Homo-oligomer: A and B are copies of this chain.
Amino acid sequence: MKDQIVIGLDYGSDSARALIVNANTGSVLASSVKYYPRWTEGKYCDPVINQYRQHPQDYIDVLEATVKDALAQCPAGTAENVVGIAFDTTGSTPAFTDETGTPLAMLPEFAENPNAMFVLWKDHTAIKEAAEVNDLCAKWEIDYTAYEGGIYSSEWFWAKALHVLRQDKAVREQAYSIIEYCEWLPALITGVTKSSDVVRSRCACGHKAMWHEKWGGLPSEKFLTTLDPLLAGYRDRLFEKTETADKPVGTLSKEWADRLGLSTKVVVAGGAFDCHMGAVGAAVSPHSFVRVIGTSTCDIMVASYEEIGDNLIKGICGQVDGSVIPGMVGLEAGQSGFGDIYAWFKHVLEFPLKNILSKTSLIDEATKAKLIAETTDQIIPALSVEAEKIPVSESTIIATDWMNGRRTPDANQMLKGSIAGLTLGSSAPRIFRALVEATAFGSKAIVDRFRNEGVRIDTVIGIGGIALKSPFVMQTLSDVLNMPIKVCKTDQACALGAAMFAATAAGVYKKVEDAQDAMNSGFAKEYTPNKENAKVYQEIYDKYVVLGQSTGLL
């Protein structure tokens, strides 16, 4: 019997990646990345008001391009052996659709209307609407945010939908329903032609749309129309049921089989968010804390019912049955700023290069540009080298990690960062070290919250750019958390996780855990905490808490 092949498709903020994986062994045959063409041009966005929209045609364009490009790199005959496809995407990234489930921007009259497009996760135009959701939930007999951490965000489904409805009469009149990015792509390639046939993502709906079985699905019609009469009727036209991503949503339509060069027998799995599938790709299991560590972090855990029962974990981003691994509760948390905080300090240090040296007449323009680029590229590596030499006993500068607010524990976007313990001897590497420790302390605050709420954590698994490339940061994190940290070999955990879902949906495995066992990448590295540093850090952490309490809102 030939090896079975699956395709994991990871749709990120700027680009999509196709990973061609041997479903039996987990070995990666090929990979291809394509950037969204309209997005790359900066279309439909307005950073001043934090409006970020993506055209559905961008997603279609890169779908064909990545899959074909990746398959072209594989041995002849690979395409014939493809048995499954799965998508992970950013989220909450919803769009309004017509009755066929087609995003309005695909209709000619809405082709250039940003309100008819997908509202990207980081779009913050709906701050007012999110506040209204929170106010109403606080008064309502049911707190619909209970399983979403208790605070509804402007980045989420209902806030965005309501904001667009209020903004745009044309969309309002034409819209029939709403779809999440990760639901649309499977629906598209399986040939769905009725909105009611769209399979809804447990992950997206449970974490962002206040869907929960306990209250019969979405919030009640009365709640939604009290929020705004403009929402009348949407509940009935949306959905009652949601599905986990291991379930097939169908097989490739004739059109898409042809466009991708695959057979119509290829099974398409349900969609889910990138970090959730990423956690699966990173071998998440109970008691391991999976962190996607990049500019910010997305932290994912799974817990059995036996472990958490009906407990509501306070102050995290949500807990949803089956959002990560079917049959377990998926828990999401995260830090608003991680690598972004180092990048901020780098930006501060660039001032002499970009504002002064850039104007020199001592060297020619080409050399100048090269010199500035070469130097700025080295700032974080050079800081890391110097910071690593400083003993923990000299970590007398203390910082908080709230330069981009705080996502968890206890979301508060009003919080700001601070640095204390500064002397005339506080050099750039010493400050950098304090910032690295601050991001680790922010991580500890999340871990402590999970533990205090009864969730056991034994180990950390890191994926993402910083996990793979910054040993100093990872060792500090291990010391502060006083826990081992494993770093996955794969730098494509999300796409690999999608491939695992594709394999499960296609029947190669009975359950996601079996796919994980067979297809995981293994670990590239394990960090072990230095017990003496861990002891010192426990004391410094207490100061971090005091610093945050006294200065976060100053």
Interface, chain A (partner B; CB < 8 A): 337, 340-341, 343-344, 347-353, 355-357, 360, 362-363, 367, 370-371, 374-376, 378-379, 382-383, 386, 396, 398, 403-404, 416-424, 426-429, 431, 543, 546-547, 550-551, 554
Contacts and interface: CB of A to CB of B under 8 A. Distances in A.
B362 A382 contact: no
7 contacts: A353-B357, A357-B375, A362-B367, A403-B426, A418-B418, A418-B420, A419-B422
A418 B400 CA distance: 12
Given A362-B371, A547-B551, A551-B551, A422 B426 contact: no
A-B pairs, top 8 by smallest CB distance, nearest first, are A550-B550, A351-B428, A418-B420, A417-B422, A420-B551, A356-B378, A357-B375, A420-B554
Contacts of A343: 424
B363 A371 contact: yes
Given A340-B424, A416-B421, A419-B422, 12 more contacts: A337-B424, A351-B428, A352-B378, A353-B357, A355-B382, A356-B379, A362-B367, A362-B374, A403-B423, A403-B424, A547-B554, A550-B551
A51 to B, nearest CB: 17
B360 A374 contact: yes
A268 to B, nearest CB: 39
A423 B427 contact: no
Contacts of A355: 382, 386
A424 B47 CA distance: 14
A390 B431 CA distance: 25
A344 to B, nearest CB: 5
A522 to B, nearest CB: 35
Contacts of A419: 418-420, 422
A422 B418 contact: yes
B347 A371 contact: no
Contact of A426 (B348, B356, B428, B551): B348
A348 B428 contact: yes
A48 to B, nearest CB: 12
A347 B426 CA distance: 9
Nearest to A383: B351
Given A353-B352, A554-B546, A554-B547, A404 B424 contact: yes
Nearest to A357: B375
A429 B550 contact: no
A421 B550 CA distance: 11
Contacts of A422: 403, 416-419
A403 B397 CA distance: 11
Nearest to A427: B348
A525 B115 CA distance: 57
Nearest to A544: B554
A143 to B, nearest CB: 30
A551 B549 CA distance: 11
Contacts of A350: 352
A370 B362 CA distance: 8
Contacts of A418: 418-422, 551
A424 to B, nearest CB: 5
Contacts of A374: 360, 362
Contacts of A351: 349, 379, 382-383, 427-429
A486 to B, nearest CB: 30
A401 to B, nearest CB: 10
B427 A416 contact: no
Given A362-B371, A420-B551, A547-B551, A382 B353 contact: no
